[in-house]
């Protein structure tokens, strides 16, 4: 069945898999110390225009969020995030499992505003009981957000300015970063992002890899003995090569960007199909996740022929559903979608 | 200086201290196994009209919330609470420290509505991604709330009905329970409360004791090996007698209720003073915490002569402040207040 | 350089990689719900002769230990393990990170004895202070052990008998299980192991997979909402297929067993080389890890030409080192070793 | 019944209780900010000869160990302790609950040797796999130990020297510190102890207080925002005065030392009684805990007439039991003991 269920329905981009094949029998040292990991790090540093960046590889998104947040926060701190943030809602409490609170603030279409953040932080320190509360110790945003929306460069810089005024790092969850950077709505480049934020990750799982996320510490701020902290959290891969080789392939000849652009082009075509069929767009998204509103009966029928995902119940008779493109979306997929709608 | 800063500004009620004196040199076994603890348990069971209740003593409120919640929740569960709940805001992340999320829901004047809760739980289970989210495994409310407000018996029963429909326990934080039960606004008795909820605690720290909270498991639902779980959390008192003797005194001759009523009477008089001085009441509270709005300049001047506590910044020029009465509030305190205002 | 550094120096067995290629572009659902995971589960159940087994896939060994142990233990329990156990020494405190103590008991060549365990458990419950101590809530053993040694069927059954007398589960870390089952020293089959223990895992990372461990709950004892607990620990793979496809390949046509036998054959040849060169064997191991004692100067020289791993400092002038074979060891590797020694 | 069960069988020393009475109705601010806490801090600093010491009050021993250790360790570190240490055995896993491992090393009569520690730390860093292990980040010793034994000044200094060579703090659990300092076997003073170690606590619970331990950070090394970390662990007392007033009394006119000396004198008399009755001394202890070996039948009979505590099963027919004196032991208690034996 044709599937727009997520951006992780296929395996790896063929070029990525090819590199895994080619390097498969080379004996390599473990835990991210092999030359492919090193090469991937170097290429990522170059792509970020950030020669001092420290790059570490982890397996998946929730794991990466939990490892980065918990190893960077101090004991008495929590992480500020949008109420709709992935860490707030869809990680089964992985951040709290590390002993830290997610401090939820209001959002719009998945995005937080610098002004909201500033008011929140100001109110926190103006509260005479602040020592009895969780210190805001980091700001987490996702780009693209969980709703497929994007921050502008100005918006990101403003958020970073607030963070730095309060001396807390800004962490960007880039599980779908490629799709954000290649969107027609993007006005920020990878080097600009690297300059603005303190730590972020380049998502592999949703952008062409079998698994893997590349964490980039941009300000010489990688936590001391990070490898041990990663191991302690059960997140250290014995065959680090698995992720190193994949990112090395993704950052060779701009593959990461090319396949991201492909997904965006397919998303734009999909939007056109939705519009031509007069479907209710729930939210205008410039990236690879598209949200539409379906009457429940129609949704049930459509489900039999095509895969998409539940987003939320809108009312008793309507549901918001999500259609996602990715590097693996084909013209045939879209043609099938067009015919079905 | 006269103080209305909190309900824990004084030591213990003299009768409580007297009993500590009288029993002081008796050799007793530790960890809550002494006869005073047992006697206090028996008296509390009687006062609750709940012969099967399991009663355990802990030292303070945040500790009690963390111990009860974390030892009753399952691994994959979190606790639902009002966004303004003590566990949500003023416990420095003590619940998250135990690895569990506080699932915040909307409130009004510190209270949650059964309907809000029902909608929340229904939406949770209707969400197809619920297995990637934190299961709501318990409901926490405070009575009186952090704003001094009270639930009616009907409201509590409705909340409990929702909990039981979803097979999760209802936990009532009774740090100021005495003041709630003795309020003119109260329409629930201690036995009724014990029948409605699954676990609650009777606050001692704020109601006449030096320290101590009595946790009441009403449905034969005390977690197995609770003593070990308490010890593991650093919450087991060697000299359990310290709390046992105090609660034994508090539940002799209705002392707990009498001193609670005293605080309420003083609060009513304080409200009259506020009204007579045309002060802006921030929120109508039927218990011992009263919230008024002060212009900042006036607040600063008043601070020099009387103690009260910051609650929140209302706007740039006004602050909400809290005045609290307790078992130790005297007529002289109120007279001094009247003169100052 | 020729490497005997570990059993995870190569990528995946070619047949495994081939299956990843063949299935790569099929759109599949995530989180272990795809048909390859299901097929792999079915084949593992068959190989275990345990139709009721619940099989779940995780990424790596330390992660698997932490997830299984922490989701099966009760709040007040810890896990009993050999002082040399992987969970005791080489997981950077991953078990403690989940809030549970590793209760270390004496061992010999990596193995614990049923009698040692029985004495430990008996002493625990005979201690009048046992409620102030960590309850032994599970027994962890590795098979093969960290020293390459094996339990006999009798020994395993005896340990299991002690566990069951105390009503605690026996968990077998099978990170190198294939090498244990195919050893000439093995007297237990996979179905026998499944019958004896309560939960174990079949290691993939060290036996032909890029990554992945298959946890087998043999007694209908998979923790409730395990998927959520896995996610909460950052251990849920979006593309569950990555592990499902690999285990499906490993358990097709006995591939897992065949490649394990290959490693054992190579290990036997390696032992012969060591003996022929009169090297000091540190410990007699019937599996793929071999430990020899080298004079430090010789060790340093050898290091320049061949890769092996540090095990422990024996004395000021000698070091115990480890040579490991695996499914990827070739005759050329051994020939090179022979020449160098 | 006469009791030698523990040093926490009575309430508070009468002088301590008297001060609680006298200050009872004064309105005071909470959380350790009142003048009695400040006065107690000042007196403790003076007694320690350590003007820069930062003194904080906590409720009990296990709590203090967990709070101090977990707030001082870094994420990737554990605490080194004797295998018989209180944190290793008798705290129900309270340290592990904070996510940190207790690294157990060999001991003799409850004491670790500097040389053992040095070898352990050296071996740790000489192990090429150390990054996969828990970093030793602090050393915990108890003085007196769990077996009533004492470190000499030389021994403590040697241990501290090893700690400082590895740049890790030395933490001394002084739950029974008074009894150690006043022992005829003591050759270290409080100021010397304060100078040697990095953090220690002065036990109140077992030395004359209802509850309470005074933590002394001697090297300007109190963790930042410690109050918040304490609150997060459920260990912050609302009425901080309860402990402040008690320590203020204990450190007025040397009360703490006088009552400790009393306990030691009674212990010396008790030892004479044991010797005169030809009882088997299990272990020579110079402090208030005395361990003797009883034949099980005799033990059972003795239990009916006098209280003492189980220590460990020696063999099938003998048990090690503990008799403890304290500030509250009377001549009548000893006379009764003499008659019974």
pLDDT in tens, A47-101: 999 999 999 999 999 999 999 999 999 999 999 999 999 999 999 999 999 999 9
Residues of D in contact with B36 (CB under 8 A): none
Q: What is the CATH number of the domain that holds B264?
A: 3.90.1150.10
Least confident of A244-253, B172-181, B306-315, D145-154: B306-315
- Which of B135, B227, B231 is the closest to C225 by Cβ? B135
Regarding whether B112 and B229 lie in a shared domain, the answer is yes
Q: At residue B1, does pLDDT exceed 90?
A: no
pLDDT digits (tens, 9 = 90+) for A148-163: 999 999 999 999 999 9
Of C104, C128, C111, the C-alpha closest to C286 is C111
Of D41, D36, D11, D64, the C-alpha closest to D241 is D36
Residue at a domain's end among A254, A269, A285 = A254
Q: How far is D233 from chain A (nearest CA, A)?
A: 10
Residue at a domain's end among A235, A254, A273 = A254
Q: B94 to chain A: nearest residue by CA?
A: A99
* Separation between Cα atoms, residue B271 and residue B282, nearest integer Å: 12
Interface of A with B in 101-160 (CB under 8 A): 101-102, 104, 123, 126-129, 131-134
pLDDT digits (tens, 9 = 90+) for D173-203: 999 999 999 999 999 999 999 999 999 999 9
pLDDT of residue A75: 98
Question: What average pLDDT does the segment D218-231 reach?
Answer: 98
Residues of B in contact with D12 (CB under 8 A): 24
DSSP 3-state assignment of A32? Answer: coil
Is C25 in Cβ contact with A9 (below 8 Å)? no
**Exposed, middle or buried, A241 (CB in 10 Å: 0-12/13-18/19+)?**
buried
- What averages of pLDDT result for each successive group of 10 residues across chain C (341 residues)? 95 98 97 98 98 98 98 98 98 98 98 98 95 98 98 98 98 98 96 98 98 98 98 98 98 98 98 96 95 96 95 92 97 96 88
Question: Is the minimum CB–CB distance between C223 and chain B shorter than 8 Å?
Answer: yes
Question: Is the minimum CB–CB distance between D74 and chain A shorter than 8 Å?
Answer: yes
Regarding whether C241 and C271 lie in a shared domain, the answer is no
* Cα C279-C281-C283 angle, rounded to 5 deg: 175
* Separation between Cα atoms, residue D176 and residue D141, nearest integer Å: 12
Question: What average pLDDT does the segment D287-314 reach?
Answer: 95
Is C232 in Cβ contact with B131 (below 8 Å)? no
Residue B154 contacts residue B164 (beta carbons within 8 Å): no
| Pair of tokens at residue D325 | 């004196």
Question: Is the minimum CB–CB distance between B225 and chain C shorter than 8 Å?
Answer: yes
Q: At residue A134, does pLDDT exceed 90?
A: yes
Residues of C in contact with D99 (CB under 8 A): 93, 96-99
pLDDT of residue A267: 98
Q: How far is D135 from chain A (nearest CA, A)?
A: 9
Partners of C172 in the beta sheet?
A: C141, C200
Neighbours of A305 (CB within 10 A): 12
What's the sign of the alpha-carbon dihedral D191, D193, D198, D204?
negative
Question: What average pLDDT does the segment B67-78 reach?
Answer: 98
Is C76 in Cβ contact with B225 (below 8 Å)? yes
- Which of B90, B98, B312 is the closest to A133 by Cβ? B90
Residue C50 contacts residue C218 (beta carbons within 8 Å): yes
Is C75 in Cβ contact with B232 (below 8 Å)? yes
Q: Is the preceding omega at residue A144 within 30 degrees of 0, hence cis? A: yes
Q: How far is C95 from chain D (nearest CA, A)?
A: 8
Q: At residue B117, does pLDDT exceed 90?
A: yes
Residues of B in contact with C231 (CB under 8 A): 131-132
Question: Is the minimum CB–CB distance between D32 and chain A shorter than 8 Å?
Answer: no
Residues of C in contact with D129 (CB under 8 A): 90, 310
Number of residue pairs across A and C with CB atoms under 8 Å?
A: 159
Task: State phi, psi for A162 to the nearest 5 degrees.
Answer: -65, -45
Question: Is the minimum CB–CB distance between A30 and chain D shorter than 8 Å?
Answer: no
Regarding whether B48 and B85 lie in a shared domain, the answer is yes
* Cα C15-C17-C19 angle, rounded to 5 deg: 75
Residues of A in contact with C94 (CB under 8 A): 231-234
Is C228 in Cβ contact with A8 (below 8 Å)? no
Interface of C with B in 44-63 (CB under 8 A): none
Q: How far is D128 from chain B (nearest CA, A)?
A: 33
Distances from the Cα of A11 to the Cα of A14, A63, A245, C206, D186, angstroms: 9, 20, 15, 22, 70
Number of residue pairs across B and D with CB atoms under 8 Å?
A: 158
How many whole angstroms from its chain centre is CA B274?
25
Regarding whether B336 and B190 lie in a shared domain, the answer is no
Regarding whether D188 and D87 lie in a shared domain, the answer is yes
Regarding whether D82 and D109 lie in a shared domain, the answer is yes
DSSP 3-state assignment of C148? Answer: coil
List, in sequence order, every beta strand (DSSP E) within chain A: 2-3, 54-58, 77-82, 102-105, 135-142, 170-173, 199-203, 213-217, 280-283, 289-295, 306-307, 309-315, 318-324
Measured torsion, CA atoms of residues B323, B329, B333, B338, in degrees rounded to the nearest 10: 50
Q: A102 to chain B: nearest residue by CA?
A: B101
Is D102 in Cβ contact with C97 (below 8 Å)? no
* Separation between Cα atoms, residue A258 and residue A264, nearest integer Å: 10
Regarding whether C307 and C242 lie in a shared domain, the answer is no
Residue at a domain's end among C254, C282, C301 = C254
Residue B232 contacts residue D92 (beta carbons within 8 Å): yes
List Cβ neighbours of B311 (8 Å cut-off, separation of 6 or more). Answer: B282, B291, B319, B320, B321, B322
Regarding whether B179 and B133 lie in a shared domain, the answer is yes
Q: How far is D75 from chain C (nearest CA, A)?
A: 9
Residues of A in contact with C3 (CB under 8 A): 27
pLDDT of residue D1: 84
Question: Is the minimum CB–CB distance between A26 and chain B shorter than 8 Å?
Answer: no
Q: How far is C8 from chain A (nearest CA, A)?
A: 6
**Exposed, middle or buried, C64 (CB in 10 Å: 0-12/13-18/19+)?**
buried
Regarding whether B197 and B57 lie in a shared domain, the answer is yes
Task: Please report, rounded to a whole number, the percentage of residues in chain A having pLDDT higher than 70.
Answer: 100
Question: Is the minimum CB–CB distance between B14 and chain C shorter than 8 Å?
Answer: no
- Which of B70, B134, B228 is the closest to C131 by Cβ? B228
Q: How far is D153 from chain B (nearest CA, A)?
A: 30
Number of residue pairs across B and C with CB atoms under 8 Å?
A: 45
pLDDT of residue A1: 84
Question: How many domains in chain B?
Answer: 2
Is A96 in Cβ contact with B313 (below 8 Å)? no
Q: Which domain holds residue A123?
A: 14-254
ipTM of the complex: 0.97
Interface of D with B in 288-307 (CB under 8 A): 307
Q: C225 to chain B: nearest residue by CA?
A: B76
Is D2 in Cβ contact with B232 (below 8 Å)? no
Q: At residue A107, does pLDDT exceed 90?
A: yes
Q: What is the CATH number of the domain that holds A86?
A: 3.40.640.10
- Which of C132, C135, C228 is the closest to B76 by Cβ? C228
Regarding whether D262 and D243 lie in a shared domain, the answer is no
| Pair of tokens at residue A73 | 């926060």
Is D96 in Cβ contact with C133 (below 8 Å)? no
Q: At residue D341, does pLDDT exceed 90?
A: no
Q: At residue A25, does pLDDT exceed 90?
A: yes
Is C99 in Cβ contact with B223 (below 8 Å)? no
pTM beyond 0.90: the answer is yes
Regarding whether D320 and D262 lie in a shared domain, the answer is yes
Question: What average pLDDT does the segment B163-172 reach?
Answer: 98
Residues of D in contact with A228 (CB under 8 A): 76, 131-133, 135
Residue A216 contacts residue A201 (beta carbons within 8 Å): yes
Q: How far is C280 from chain A (nearest CA, A)?
A: 26
Regarding whether A273 and A195 lie in a shared domain, the answer is no
Confidence class for position B47, pLDDT limits 50, 70, 90: very high
């Amino acid at each position: 069945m044709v599937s727009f269920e997520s951006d992780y329905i296929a395996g790896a981009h063929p070029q990525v898999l090819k590199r895994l094949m080619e390097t498969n029998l080379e004996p390599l040292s473990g835990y991210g110390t092999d030359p492919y990991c090193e090469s991937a790090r170097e290429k990522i540093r170059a792509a970020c225009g950030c020669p001092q960046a420290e790059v570490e590889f982890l397996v998946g998104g929730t794991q990466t969020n939990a490892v980065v947040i918990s190893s960077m926060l101090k004991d008495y701190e929590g992480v500020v995030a949008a109420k709709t943030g992935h860490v707030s809602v869809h990680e089964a409490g992985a951040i709290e499992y590390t002993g830290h609170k997610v401090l939820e603030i209001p959002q719009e279409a998945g995005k937080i505003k610098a002004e909201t953040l500033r008011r929140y932080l100001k109110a926190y320190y103006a509260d005479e009981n602040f020592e009895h509360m969780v210190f805001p110790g980091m700001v987490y945003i996702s780009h693209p957000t969980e709703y497929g929306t994007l921050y502008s460069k100005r918006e990101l810089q403003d958020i970073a300015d607030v963070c730095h005024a309060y001396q807390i790092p800004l962490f960007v969850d880039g599980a779908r970063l490629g799709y954000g950077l290649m969107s027609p709505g993007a006005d920020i480049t990878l080097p600009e992002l690297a300059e603005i934020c303190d730590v972020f990750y380049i998502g592999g799982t949703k952008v062409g890899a079998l698994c893997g996320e590349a964490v980039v510490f941009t300000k010489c701020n990688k936590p001391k003995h990070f490898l041990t902290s990663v191991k302690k959290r059960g997140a250290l891969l014995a065959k680090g090569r698995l992720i190193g080789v994949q990112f090395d392939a993704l950052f060779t000849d701009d593959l990461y960007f090319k396949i991201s652009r492909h997904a965006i082009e397919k998303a734009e075509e999909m939007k056109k199909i939705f519009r031509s069929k007069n479907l209710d767009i729930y939210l205008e998204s410039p990236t690879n996740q598209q949200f539409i509103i379906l009457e429940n009966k129609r949704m049930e029928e459509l489900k039999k022929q095509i895969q998409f995902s539940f987003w939320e119940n809108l009312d008793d008779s309507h549901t918001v559903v999500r259609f996602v493109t990715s590097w693996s979306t084909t013209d045939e997929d879209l043609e099938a979608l067009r015919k079905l709608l």
